[in-house]
Structure 1
Amino acid sequence: MDLFHLNFRRRINALVWARRAVVLAAVLAVWVWHRHWGGVIALVAAGLVLVGSLQAWEASARRQFIREASLPGFLIGKLRAAHPQLQERDAELVLRGLRQFFMAHLRSNRKFVAMPSKVVDTAWHEFILHTQGYQRWCAAAFGGLLHHSPAEVLGRDARRNDGLRRTWYWACKEESIDRRKPTRLPLLFALDAKFGVPGGFQYVPDCQAIDRQSGSDAHCGTSFSDSGGGAGDAGGFGGSESSGGDGGSSGDGGSGCGGGCGGGGD
């Protein structure tokens, strides 16, 4: 069986079942050969190496699925109906932002991530309403359902602050942005301002770029690395730096838009 010629879901399912089969085989080996500890230890060690390799391959397949698998075609129409200012190519860019959000959830080892964009939240909510399709998509992308949470900004809730920091950390990593001293915004954090979304969240990369005395309601990318203020696990971006996530490099083919849509409000 050539895994590279299977579709995304079959490939991922094959890797999941292969990993389970290796674990089961290791358990059976211990039970059958328990009197031959030298052989058992060697088999278990080989099994652990194989399981680790399969897990890495599975994670890579899920990342590829999130980046490349088709999203429902009706989302474009739903987005444009909810936000009439969007052209078709604008709606497609919003869906790329949704993929970036999904990637943040996967790469943070499926921890809670918070949604920082009102327009991307619209796309996510419309996708969820297509219940069976969304469940199938989540099963392939994450191995389980990603539940909806409203779009928000940093506040007093430490847990949700950690969720936003994880989103920021991995969105920046996808686009090779310095998450502590950003010079531009990742796509997901730039979209509301870019498309003038009513009630949307506006971000700038650095707090020095705005004059608080002018009454600006923009939020700062540099705030995600600040400590204190009920920020939760701020030092590790919601634990992302300490856990390392999947350890992928920042330039591994992410679906971000690069420097063309950062800046929040162009």
Structure 2
Amino acid sequence: MILITGATGVVGRETVRLLVEQGAKVAAVTRDPHAGLPAAAQLVHPDEVATLDGVEAILLSPRAVGATAAALLDRARETGTGRVVVLSAVTVQYPAGLPRFRQQFEAVEDLAKRSGLDWTILRCTDFAANTLAWARQIGATGTVRGAYAEARTSTIDERDIAAVAALALAQPHHAGQIYPLTGEQSLTQADKVAALSEALGRPISFTEATPEEIRRGMLAAGLPDEVPDRLLGSLADYAREPGPTTDAVRRLLGRPARTYATWATDHRAAFAAAFTTGGPR
């Protein structure tokens, strides 16, 4: 059995789907009994994880497990789990943003390395799915308003992360490996907005605002301080120096990483649904 924490996140959900398609027995950790996961996956409430036996491998999502990571890994070792695959961040290897966020991922990596399990670490750059946060303002105004228009990253399609995770969970020869996962195209925020405009067939522009204006807007929308701190801190650094670009996805999957333009085309419906009546055309 393969245990997937964060099973309803964009990476976890796709990893569950891929593993089920490959015939693996999957336990998906979720609080939602109607999570819309494949019928063949066993849904496991977080409180029930400690009762599971026969777990061969774990996908560990730090944001999903929080402070319970150490206990989960201790239990895994005691019950004979063989390996753990950790979803981490590329900032551990290529520092950007506020140190405290990088240190959170470093701490979970260290737990995995000391766990006694075979470990594989996936250090990921920013997810393409993060730009779904733009959908509402695109729908209402045809404009994305943000800070640091020229911040440049090699955004990764979360489906590529899931494909690598599925490999590492199923194949023990990835033990002891650290993979920095990025897309292969370094794009500014304005570049991504242009790709969305092309995919949707609608004019969409990027309007630059000051970091403080964006921070106030996010807090006014009810987001916790951590969200603008995480976003604006990394964007400020990537405006000065582009984030890393690697070929790890190509090497591991035997094909190029999906482009952001492909992701935008594949997710047109999510953005198109946000357009309001009488909105920009």
Q: With the length of structure 2 as denominator, give the TM-score of the two structures.
A: 0.27
As a proportion of its length, which structure holds more strand?
2
TM-score under structure 1 normalisation? 0.28
